Amino acid sequence: MSQVAFRADLFHMTDDPALVGAKDACGYIPDGLLVVEDGFVKAVGSYDALAPTLKDGTEITDHRGKLITPGFIDTHIHFPQLDMIASYGEQLLDWLERYTFPEEAKFASEAHAADAADFFIRELLSSGTTSALVYCTVHRQSVEAIFDAAYARNMRIVAGKSLMDRNVPDAVRDTAEGSDRDNRDLIAAYHGKGRLGYAITPRFAPACSDEQLTLAGKLLAEHDDVLMHTHLSENTAEIDWVRELYPEAKNYLDVYDRFGLLTNRSVFAHCIHLDGEEFQRMAEADAAISYCPTSNLFLGSGLFNLREAEKYGVKVGLGTDVGAGTSFSLLETMNEAYKVCHLRGHRLDPFKSFYLATLGGAKALNMADKVGDFTPGKEADFIVLDRAATPLLERRLKNTSEIDELLFVLSMLGDDRTVSHTYVAGECVHTRD
């Protein structure tokens, strides 16, 4: 048994503050100790209480003055959109045609996919993101590339091949049978390998034939721990198009529902324009929403209604949605999430923000039994946040005494510079210096 320990201020969310109140939803331990054994959380508590209980010879890494939190969980991101992040001027459907599909076509090359996957994983880790639900391209080699890169760092990553057999350019189009074969091969090769998981990933309803969605639903039903990951109700022109393609469906969500794709393992990105009936169905099915504020603002898609999701009791996590999103940083994503909620007329408190970025994301991805907080037995994925990462942050935080204010300022002024170390299963995989 190898035991190590980390000394710092510790903070984690153990429940949804909107349900139980902030006081009962978080744990804050000034001068705490996080004890890790064989990559799992062994104990968490004050330094004074835990130090005498350590096994002889346990190495203590000293991060005093900094704040340790669980690693961030990004519930929606596209690894092949690295090279066209920040592309000017379009809303969703034109942005896909003009920038996204041509870039994704390059992932037919294994070498290109491997290079992008390596960069992408480094970018996640330097931003403090230790788990993510990842879109690949239509090419199976893109999925192999991201899984190989994540496996090499022992990360808990869920990914899947983008299914798209109609209404897209030839270079990024597959077929229903071909995609089913690829999905099955990829599940056999990667699902459950180390900490990797598979997600059946239809691009969005307009890009998938009925046959492709039927096969996707069938495959989902065959595996009780594979996720389903897609886009839903992001842009009004997209919704009009879905209505034309599926006049018989009650609404956009109903299209996925009819194919067996609405389950408690389904994650839907965006969900900006859902009506009450759709929220109700999402709640009944125990499906999850990925809230992607930087993307929703960048593409001019609209303002997600977090209060409505809370009212119906739908699981929500945060997503960056790079490359429609403009940052890998979940801290910057919390910043934009706060502003979107403000425009919707309510306050997003910092406990809820940190919940969405950690345990809320873990629940959305059905991995809350493994990551998301520091409950003993969970995998020790965590990050070290530096209060003095920038002169402005340091100056502002000298004027702060309460934990909620510290968290709020970190979420407004923080970014990848704030993350001084990232640990995956107890191993340091990124240091800022």
Partner whose footprint covers residue 37, from ligand GUN, Zn ion, none (CB < 5 to 8 Å by kind): none
DSSP sequence for 76-111: EEEGGGGGGSS--S--HHHHIIIIIHHHHHGGGSHH
Closest separation between CB of residue 105 and Zn ion, Å?
17
Count residues contacting ligand GUN (CB under 6 A)?
11
Question: If you count DSSP H runs as helices and E runs as strands, how many of each does the chain have, helices first?
Answer: 19, 16
Partner whose footprint covers residue 408, from ligand GUN, Zn ion, none (CB < 5 to 8 Å by kind): none
Closest separation between CB of residue 138 and Zn ion, Å?
14
Closest separation between CB of residue 317 and Zn ion, Å?
13
43: β partners: 35
Window of 32-40, 92-100, 124-132, 367-375 that interacts with ligand GUN by CB under 6 A: 92-100
Name the pairing type of β-strands 427-431 and 419-424. Answer: antiparallel
Contacts of 137 (CB under 8 A, 6+ apart): 80, 104, 105, 107, 113, 161, 162, 172
Closest separation between CB of residue 96 and ligand GUN, Å?
6
Q: Does 103 bind ligand GUN (CB under 6 A)?
A: no
**Residue number, 316 or 419, with CB nearest to ligand GUN:** 316
Partner whose footprint covers residue 96, from Zn ion, ligand GUN, none (CB < 5 to 8 Å by kind): ligand GUN
Distance CA 367, CA 183 (A): 21
Residue 292's nearest CA partner among 77, 88, 13, 87 is: 77
Among 69, 100, 326, 353, contact with ligand GUN (rule: CB under 6 A): 100
Residues 262-301 contacting ligand GUN, CB under 6 A: 295
Site string for ligand GUN, 226-265 (x = CB under 6 A): -----x--x-------------------------------
- CA angle, corner 312, sides to 308 and 314, nearest 5? 95
Task: Judge residue 19's burial from the number of C-beta atoms within 10 Å of its C-beta, 0-12 exposed, 13-18 middle, 19 or more buried.
Answer: exposed
Site string for ligand GUN, 311-350 (x = CB under 6 A): ----------x--x--------------------------
Binding residues for Zn ion, rule: CB under 5 A, are 269, 321
**Residue number, 179 or 422, with CB nearest to ligand GUN:** 179
Q: Which residues in 299-365 belong to E strands, given as ranges? A: 315-318
| DSSP helix/strand/coil, 224 | coil
Name the pairing type of β-strands 129-135 and 227-232. Answer: unpaired
Distance CA 316, CA 269 (A): 10
Partner whose footprint covers residue 100, from Zn ion, ligand GUN, none (CB < 5 to 8 Å by kind): ligand GUN
Binding site for ligand GUN (CB under 6 A): 78, 92, 96, 100, 203-204, 231, 234, 295, 321, 324
